Chain A
Amino acid sequence: MAPLLSIKNLHVSFHTYAGKVHAVRGIDLTVERGETLAIVGESGSGKSVTSKAIFGLLPKHNASIEHGEIWFDGQDLLTLNKKEMQRIRGSEIGVVFQDPMTALNPTMKVGKQVVEGAMKHRKLSKKEAYDLAIELFELVGIPNPEVRIHQYPHEFSGGMRQRVVIAMALACKPKLLIADEPTTALDVTIQAQILDLLREIQQKTGTAIIFITHDLGVVANIADSVAVMYAGKIVEKGKVEEIFHEPIHPYTWGLIQSVPNMETKGKLYAIPGSPPDLLKPPKGDAFAPRNEYALAIDYEKQPPTYQVSDTHFAATWLLHPQAPKINYQKKIAEQLHDEEDNKVKDNDVLLKVNNLKKYFNLPSKQVLKAVDGVNIEIKKGETFGLVGESGCGKSTTGRTIIGLYEPTEGDIIYDNQPVNERNRGAFHQKIQMIFQDPYASLNPRKKVEDIIAEGLDIHGLVQNKQERQERVQQLLEAVGLQPDHAQRFPHEFSGGQRQRIGIARALAVEPELIIADEPISALDVSIQAQVVNLLKDLQKERELTYLFIAHDLSMVKYISNRIGVMYLGVIVEMAEADELYKNPLHPYTQALLSSVPLPDPHVEKTRERIILEGGLPSPVDPPRGCRFRTRCPLATEKCLEAPQWREAEKGHWVACHYA
């Protein structure tokens, strides 16, 4: 039988004022009925553009499909007119977008939104539409559908909204569902719920899914087959086991290596550099300049696609009969394991935070308790990881420690000196911060030189222009950038390069403690490893202490010596990284650990998960007693009392009655 969807030699380009951007450069792809195909790639690799081309949603004014065919169920979608395409969209192909907050119309009842398409395409009566809405809500697991369909989107939480969006896409029983990063905007515990749901739906309805993502853990969890995209081309495709266990293309291979799992030690494998500019795509293999094993021919000629097995294809010259055989598994194992982690000995305590509270007064006269009694001790030279879902107060904690917010209550003691409003100035040089969004954290009107030197200027650390210039050059070098970058403006850099500029700015004043507030969550996978390695190297060279704030548990586990898990303004568990991973005591930590998708299809498809119900309660009115009790599988009456913060085992602190 013919596949459900087959794309042949598709080329898409965008016309911008700077020239033509070749976003998709000739891809071939097939999707069988009922299978889940994951398209993986970094930002700008053309994965979303491909999905939009299938769906006919490319912006008309500047995008053009230059070449290619998209066959869906026996017709070429690119030859259809607007009306015919409208019929296909919504009735044959459904779509789930990334951000559930903007995908729903806020002024329309959700029930109506869900069946709107179906009413038009299938000409349902009011009664039938109502029944359908209830059925769909049940299918996507929204409790109380009779009540919920009459509500508006703002009455739903993020995870619930994404369920509504999925219900909307399923309303016409599509043969193909395109999900464009459907879980990227969600927290891990919610992500686990949604992935479960998608799998369940596929079993029930037999629809095929194209799942677009950059997260390899998610791919391992949900995909049957995988296509890896790089610079507008598919570099490798195959069954999920083939891609994860026998990757052929050096890019796929590097990508899988650069994601830490819970056991990764030593140095992370990082792919250096950044993806190429598709305004002027390179002549040969686009990945060659970043490829350790690039052949001379890679710089000259684009590799053809070779077939490795019935289902496994890869486009690399390494498969040519004349090419040398490389066993990367072994090579890398050598590189990675010759380094030993140096444990932090019992150093002095550098930062001590006692009962820190930060409340915000809302205009509605309510009080938002973002941080509500946090105790942390960080030793000199260690990395303390702070994890939690969005809204748990981890960023607020970091910002209060560095003084961007005044604490409502509690003490911050740095190097045995209490920090308060009056002596705050003395600590600016000792504590520094790295921010999350590399696009918002650099002033777009300033040259890189002035950005990095700002701290030097403020504290008068350099005498003259020449010294200033030299210092900036040194710092650029320390973070792996080139000296001539000093004269450029931030918008000319890629995300990873910008983040390194941000790190250089923090390093300029030679701080002792660096608070890294989600420093890698806005970066691509291959770039994350670069930045994490850089942070580790700098720590070793300069004896830095880190407070590493993130929501990605496997990355935190990899980089940290000790970890604190935050939930709704309080720390619920704190222990050494390995101990926390092997022996989690708090039910929230256990659930969090089991929700993290790991980049290994065998593990992912067999392990048992603890799926938490519902979402994070509002920090304006947190549950009484133990804050986790509303979602906790173990909760009893006793949890109405606040649990004590106690040392369950040596160095392992927890706040739970049943741990």
Chain B
Amino acid sequence: MKEQTKQLEEQHEIFPDEMFEIVGRKEDESEKINKPVLSNWQDGWLRLKQNKAAIVSLFVIFIIVFLSFVGPYFNEYSYDQTDYDNVYSEPSKEHWLGTDKFGRDQWTRLWEGTRISLYIAVLAAVLDIMIGITYGAISAWKGGRVDNIMQRIIEVLVGIPNLIIIILLIMWMSPGIMTIMLAMVITGWVNMARLVRGQVFKLKTQEYVLASRALGASTSRIILGHMLPNTFGIIIINLMFTIPSAIFTEAFLSFIGLGLQEPLASLGVLINDGYHAMRNQFYLLAYPAIVIVALMVSFNLLADGLRDAFDPRMRK
């Protein structure tokens, strides 16, 4: 009852007469968009910012990259400068992280090695992407027979074990940064090519691509203007997943002796070194191990965060 009387009161409440004048619609208001202009990238960045793990990872990666560039200049030693009076010295004021079996400064070698590892990984990943995008986009755009043949080639490549290619390559060329990078790229681009192919196939039938074709756009315009911008998100995410795996591959190859050779430093070389001195000088193994773990975890977490933020499939 109480409710009803309350309702009745509400219904017959007296208001000033001018409240009941017809003011009509406010058309401008109904068409207006009040939100600030937000591009897709900005939108993705907003999402990424809310992912704490990804932001911490971004920070860690930034610090490691920064140190890998300036770290070696913090003291007067160079990465290949030996000092036979001071082999296997403990961490001290002189040598912050101690010295290795030839008395080389571990701090300098660690950051030098990190830089080379990162350099190899990033370059390999970028090459992967360039080959992968081109191959994948052509394969999907041409379609039909061309696509069929190109995909069979990929399958043959995937069928050959990676290690065999790498061993053959190292027998043929001298071990070094270029060799190891080449070895990784020869088979590494396949994933990217498949990913891009799938994406372009999907986009090919999208209405905005059809609209562009109906307007008379050239093939290059459609691929560069419509397809690639809409594949970028996925490309970057995949790049972020490729880098840590390339770092790991490089470390693995160097560890088993197929990668870089001393006196060059890389994370793999350092771990191999540290492994031999593990019993007495554990810290020699610990430092590069910590760096490689930090890098791999951070890159993977960041990639995960990027996928959540940018991949349309993860939305809603």
Contact = CB atoms under 8 A, between A and B. Distances in A.
Contact of A291 (B10, B15, B25, B207): B25
Interface in B12-37: 12, 14-15, 17-35, 37
Interface in B164-207: 206-207
B229 A445 contact: yes
Contacts of A454: 212, 215, 217, 225
B31 A295 contact: no
A489 B38 contact: yes
A604 B28 CA distance: 38
A292 B38 CA distance: 32
B146 interface: no
Contacts, number: 155
A21 B103 CA distance: 65
A130 B229 CA distance: 55
A346 B221 CA distance: 41
A440 B19 contact: no
B207 A17 contact: no
Interface residues of A, number: 67
Contact of A300 (B19, B31, B229): B19
Contacts of B216: 425, 428-429, 455, 458-459
Given A273-B30, A459-B216, A489-B39, A296 B7 contact: no
Interface string B218-229: 100100011001
A442 interface: yes
A583 interface: no
A44 B19 CA distance: 30
B230 A497 contact: no
A443 B30 contact: no
A453 to B, nearest CB: 11
Given A304-B7, A444-B230, A295 B20 contact: yes
B50 interface: yes
B280 interface: no
A399 interface: yes
B23 A299 contact: yes
B71 to A, nearest CB: 38
Contacts of B12: 320-321
Nearest to B208: A443
Contacts of B47: 17
Question: Chain A at the B interface: mostly helix, strand, loop or mixed?
Answer: loop
B40 A294 contact: no
Most chain A C-beta atoms within 10 Å of own C-beta, residue among B32, B46, B208, B213:
B208
B215 A432 contact: yes
B6 to A, nearest CB: 10
Contact of A295 (B22, B46, B50, B208): B22
Contact of A322 (B10, B20, B206, B217): B20
A404 interface: yes
Contact of B19 (A290, A296, A481, A485): A296
B20 A317 contact: yes
Interface in B54-107: none
Residue of B19, B210, B229 with most partner-chain A CB within 10 A: B19
B38 A273 contact: no
B33 A428 contact: no
B11 A304 contact: yes
Interface centre among A320, A431, A436, A482 (most CB of B within 10 A): A320
A509 B20 contact: no
Given A295-B19, A489-B37, A489-B39, A289 B26 contact: yes
A503 to B, nearest CB: 11
A324 B35 CA distance: 36
Contacts of B215: 428, 432, 454-455, 458-459, 505, 509
A443 B38 contact: no
A289 B25 contact: yes
Nearest to A297: B19
A504 B165 CA distance: 55
A622 interface: no
B1 interface: no
Contact of B20 (A320, A431, A435, A491): A320
B214 A404 contact: yes
Central interface residue in B28, B40, B212, B216, by most chain A CB within 10 Å: B216
A296 B18 contact: yes
B25 A485 contact: no
A399 B211 CA distance: 10
A299 to B, nearest CB: 7
Contacts of A505: 211, 215
Given A296-B20, A304-B10, A435-B207, A273 B27 contact: yes
A659 interface: no
Contact of A492 (B38, B212, B229): B38
A142 B102 CA distance: 86
A492 B36 CA distance: 9
B23 A295 contact: yes
Contacts of B50: 17
A274 B30 contact: yes
A441 B24 contact: no
Contacts of B32: 482
Interface in A273-316: 273-274, 277, 288-297, 299-300, 304-306
A289 to B, nearest CB: 4
15 contacts: A272-B30, A288-B26, A289-B30, A290-B30, A294-B23, A295-B22, A306-B11, A322-B17, A322-B20, A440-B206, A441-B210, A458-B216, A485-B33, A489-B37, A509-B215
Interface of A: 17, 272-274, 277, 288-297, 299-300, 304-306, 317, 320-324, 326, 399, 402-404, 425, 428-429, 431-433, 435-437, 440-446, 451, 454-455, 458-459, 480-482, 485, 487-489, 491-493, 497, 502, 505-506, 509
Given A403-B213, A482-B32, A491-B40, 18 more contacts: A289-B30, A291-B25, A296-B18, A297-B19, A320-B11, A321-B12, A323-B20, A404-B210, A404-B214, A429-B216, A435-B210, A440-B206, A441-B211, A443-B230, A451-B208, A454-B225, A458-B217, A491-B43
